[in-house]
A and B are shown apart, each in its own frame.
Chain A
Amino acid sequence: MKRAIFILLALVLISAGVFAGGQGEAKKVKLIYMTAGDVNMLALGQNVFGPEFEKKYPNISLVTIHTGPGNAGSQRIYEKILAESKSNKEEWDVDVAMVHQIFMKWAMEKDLLLKFAKDLDTWKYVTSPFAKKALGVDIEGYAMPMFHSQTALAYNPKYVKNPPKSYKELEEWVKKNPGKFGYNGIKGGMSGVSFTVGWVYAKTGKYQKYAVTGPFEQSEVNSWEGVFKDLKEFNKYVTFTAGNVGTLDALNRGEIWMGPVWVDMFFTFMNEGKMDPNTKLILPEPGMPGQPMYFVIPKKAAHADAAKKFVEFATSPEIQAKDIVERFNWYPGIDGSYLKDYIPKEVYNKIYRDVTPKDLAKKGLAFPLADYFSAILESYEKWVK
């Protein structure tokens, strides 16, 4: 009899558990994750983060929405969140978003974001100055860097024995090797933009003012005529490539011997067998810009807590090592030193082989303040035509 009661009780408990589980199922949170960036960002959300995150938190499902590459992609996210803020709704649709630096300027101006980053367990791993400021705008606490992508010069050591170590040496080098340096101008993708920004830093020596402290002064812009006339001269010895990928392709086909590339694209090409594994990287003095992409949570996100869990998950050393570095070849958003235990040694060495963490700290520069940035791009169009 006792036994029967016990079994009955057990059954009741189990069925209660099942039903409770069922109820939990009904309440499953749909976390809306909007991401800018190339198609690989969609793949990351949909095929990597989605399944892994759901395994850890079975009652949250991740819905990834991809808006498109470059600032235009971030712009669409900004417009969506801005529209929601104007709608006076209490709960906004987008729970968490992945954005570029310029987004931070736009969104901070309109006060669209939640201050969440310091609540995360993983905030303590963040050492990057990019987490404090984006294009001169104070963003500490409002954004969590997921990864850092860096530009550098890639070169083919078969033809280039002693790569130029600075922009100055590069200027000499192209004259000796006309047509063998290639980049994509400023309208063909960000690697060319980054090279041009680095050029301005090198020629003026005013990185601190343009990218960190400010302020913006028109007199600075007016002083750039010589800087860009030199670039115009430089361009005479240069091959123009067809986009970010165009530079990598041209390098691999041997059309050019050197050119600015995104480091992550470079390693991805190499892993996919589309790039000669002997090709090397160098960060020339005084450095070239790179940029992070950030997680942000809109101010009235419907599922802010779940969103925080998601960001915490994606910025944990384990995921940063496995997905961000190993799979997608970015530099981590958190401090690289926390990843050593989670990453095979050869991967760590490959990614930091040519450009060491020390190089990165010294020569991994930021893009300039938004006003200087626009001024650089526009001056290029004005003087180099």
Chain B
Amino acid sequence: MGKIVMSDNVQKRRGFIFPPYILLLFPAVSFMLLVYAYPFVSSVLKSFINKEGALSLDNYFKAWDLYLKDILFTFSITVFNTIASGIVAILLAVYFRLHESPISRFLLNLYRLPIFIPFVVVAQMMNSFLAPHGLLNVALAQLRLIDLNNPLQLFNFIGLSFGFIWKLAPFTILIIYGGFQMIDNSYIEAGRSAGAKWFKLITRILIPMNKPSIMVALVLIYSQIVGTFTLPYMLIGGKIPTTITVDIAHRVNYFRDFGVANALGVFSYILVFVTAIYYLKTKVKEVK
């Protein structure tokens, strides 16, 4: 039986003709190649070409020398905010999943708002909200929690993180809550009747059963944070350290130095590379 199948396969392979339905892939694949693959490959290649047009590592030395601090800063901002948004999102998604009340239903409708607000608008909002004499500090001063002469300084890691979490947690909730809804109530009820409390329900049932969608959500916001320009530019653009994206804009705008800009780009590719592979793997698994 097995033999017959095998020879059948071999025959198929020998007589391989380009199947016409491959043509259907042509528009999509050529679009991907032209719009994504080509710029990606060319930016990597050009990062190895120095100002004289020769092959060298000059751009990398310069990027390393001037921007190492910024690369590390970008990495820590990204990791911290991915985890923080993840935690906030899981907690809220759990709340929406396990609690049915008018308040939770209201919040369920409200939380999506930031998804539709572009980063540049968020940046402008945060700019006036977090400023030393901005809305937040003035409100806190009115409550006599702080002295306005010595306000909270938030144009830094903390303020930037606040902006990122505000903008990205809702998107994460959207995906994770969707995953939670797929989990049948009977599992939760079974857990409850066995005496599991909130915490156990989350860590033993909800998170493990929803791991793929949580990971996908985290991967997506991780790469979004690495690539965001406007928020860091408008909050901490002039400071040291700042993010890679601000440095790239600086190299291009002031020096027309695409070499170093590309090298910095490659560093950000490396930052997202690991997560991108993970994402692809899970997607491939899903398809299988």
Contacts and interface: CB of A to CB of B under 8 A. Distances in A.
A47 interface: no
- Report which residue of A239, A243, A382 has the largest number of chain B beta carbons within 10 angstroms of its beta carbon: A243
A75 B254 CA distance: 10
Contacts of A250: 131-133
Interface string B226-241: 0000000111111110
B234 A255 contact: no
- Name, among B69, B151, B233, B254, the residue most crowded by chain A CB atoms within 10 Å (CB to CB): B254
Contacts of A381: 66-67
Contacts of B128: 249
Contacts of A239: 132
Given A240-B155, A242-B155, A243-B234, A385 B240 contact: yes
A253 B128 CA distance: 10
B186 interface: no
A241 interface: yes
A71 B253 contact: yes
Interface string A183-202: 11111110011000000000
Interface string B250-288: 101111100000000000000000000000000000000
B77 interface: no
B132 A186 contact: no
B242 interface: yes
B237 A184 contact: yes
B133 to A, nearest CB: 4
A239 B131 CA distance: 12
Contacts of B254: 71, 193, 374, 377
B256 A183 contact: no
Contacts of A71: 253-254
Interface in B109-158: 127-128, 131-134, 151, 155
A156 to B, nearest CB: 13
B239 A240 contact: yes
Interface string B63-77: 001110100000000
Contacts of A70: 253
Contact of A243 (B69, B134, B237, B249): B237
Contacts, number: 81
B32 to A, nearest CB: 26
A186 B246 CA distance: 11
Nearest to B257: A374
A75 B252 CA distance: 10
A384 B235 CA distance: 19
Contacts of A374: 254-255
A193 B250 CA distance: 12
B253 A240 contact: no
A75 B238 contact: no
B131 A249 contact: yes
B133 A242 contact: no
Interface in A237-273: 239-243, 246, 249-250, 253-255
Contacts of B233: 187-188, 243
A185 B246 CA distance: 12
A193 B255 CA distance: 13
A187 B239 CA distance: 8
A240 B133 contact: no
A243 B246 CA distance: 12
A72 B253 contact: yes
Contacts of B238: 183-189, 192, 240-243
Top 8 closest A-B pairs, CB basis? Answer: A185-B238, A188-B238, A188-B237, A184-B238, A253-B133, A255-B132, A72-B253, A187-B250
Given A187-B250, A243-B233, A377-B254, 17 more contacts: A71-B253, A184-B237, A185-B238, A187-B233, A188-B238, A193-B254, A242-B131, A242-B238, A243-B237, A249-B128, A250-B131, A253-B132, A255-B131, A255-B151, A381-B67, A385-B66, A385-B69
7 contacts: A240-B239, A249-B128, A253-B131, A253-B133, A255-B131, A382-B65, A385-B240
